Amino acid sequence: MIDMPKVGVIGTGRLGGMIVRGLARAGAVPAESMIIQNRTGEKALKLAREIPGIKVASTPGEVLREAGITFLCVKPQDLAGLLRQTGTRVPGDKLLVSTLLVPYLSRMEQIISGPLARVYPAVVQETGRGVALAAFGRDVPEGRREELKSLMSAFGMTLEIPENLFRLCGDITSCGPAFMAYMIGSLARVAARRGLDPALARQAALETMAATASLLAQKDLGFDSLVDLVATPGGCTAEGIKVLAGGLDEMVDRVFSATEHREAEIDKQLTGL
């Protein structure tokens, strides 16, 4: 078991809150070894009431000074303001972990000196499952890498991949939960529109989605193998699959292009860095 340094979280919104709760629930670090801070102080205080023992700092600089590993969980447009408060130097024995969509590490390293990493988690990881992406900057000692990966294992799987694949893989892991919910939700919505009770349609879709994921994992099936298993030739499912095959991949391709385009726009809008 790795001896963990103090863990800090700056920005206790949806994602920062998920990280704090995930670490506490898994016992990855004792509450007394966590220090948090949020621009609207009451949000951090509320989280500290939920998890007694956590220290609430009065400034983000205090978090950076006290924690060995700090998760930065503010929105990209708030980064410049935050750095005006904290300065741009991370001591060599610490690690600053950005969860921000942008800027990428290569740009962060031009602005901030010291050990940097980037993780791209998913809100579904509050269940203890799900996938986060991780990439490390050039100055990160091996020990700190292992500590971060060990912390991240408190809320699911972490894939270390080149940062230029974050957008594409993030469309599966991070935006994916929304895309999957929308697609499965479509089965329930259309069934309800055609007369099924909406609550029953939701329950049927939810349970079937969970069972499908279980079967794929338990039998280590490929997606196409599961389709073949259900879609017997000449049957109803096969007819439905023909309709999906007529355009779903092209639509998903457009979804990926849309997220890529939006990420580039958000990056362009980053000012003051």
Ligand X SMILES: NC(=O)c1ccc[n+]([C@@H]2O[C@H](COP(=O)([O-])OP(=O)(O)OC[C@H]3O[C@@H](n4cnc5c(N)ncnc54)[C@H](OP(=O)(O)O)[C@@H]3O)[C@@H](O)[C@H]2O)c1
- Residues within the interface to ligand X (CB under 6 A): 10-16, 37-40, 43, 60, 73-76, 78, 81-82, 85, 99-101, 120-123, 174
Q: Report how far apart the first and last C-alpha atoms of the chain are (Å, whole number).
A: 38
> What's the min distance (Å) between Cβ of 47 and ligand X?
10
> What's the min distance (Å) between Cβ of 87 and ligand X?
13
**Which amino acid is residue 268, in one-letter code?**
K
> What's the min distance (Å) between Cβ of 99 and ligand X?
4
Q: Give whichever of 14 and 25 is closer to ligand X, judged by the CB atom.
A: 14
74 exposure class (CB count in 10 Å sphere: 0-12, 13-18, 19+): buried
* Residue in the structure block whose two tokens are 């529109």: 193
Tokens found for residue 4: 């963990």
Q: 15 with 21: CB under 8 angstroms?
A: no
> What's the min distance (Å) between Cβ of 253 and ligand X?
22
Q: How far apart are CA 24 and CA 210, in angstroms?
A: 26
Q: Give whichever of 16 and 22 is closer to ligand X, judged by the CB atom.
A: 16
**Which amino acid is residue 34, in one-letter code?**
M
> What's the min distance (Å) between Cβ of 77 and ligand X?
9
Chain position whose Cβ is nearest to ligand X: 13
> What's the min distance (Å) between Cβ of 7 and ligand X?
16
Is the N-terminal amide bond of 52 cis, ω within 30° of 0? no
Q: Give whichever of 100 and 201 is closer to ligand X, judged by the CB atom.
A: 100
Q: Give whichever of 38 and 70 is closer to ligand X, judged by the CB atom.
A: 38
Nearest Cα to Cα of residue 145 among 36, 73, 69, 88: 69
Q: Give whichever of 70 and 174 is closer to ligand X, judged by the CB atom.
A: 174
Q: How far apart are CA 106 and CA 245, in angstroms?
A: 39
Q: Give whichever of 63 and 201 is closer to ligand X, judged by the CB atom.
A: 63
Q: How far apart are CA 61 and CA 59, in angstroms?
A: 5
> What's the min distance (Å) between Cβ of 247 and ligand X?
28
**Which amino acid is residue 160, in one-letter code?**
E
- Using CA atoms, how far residue 66 sits from 32, 62, 70, 82, 98, in Å, is 12, 6, 9, 17, 17
Q: Give whichever of 13 and 30 is closer to ligand X, judged by the CB atom.
A: 13
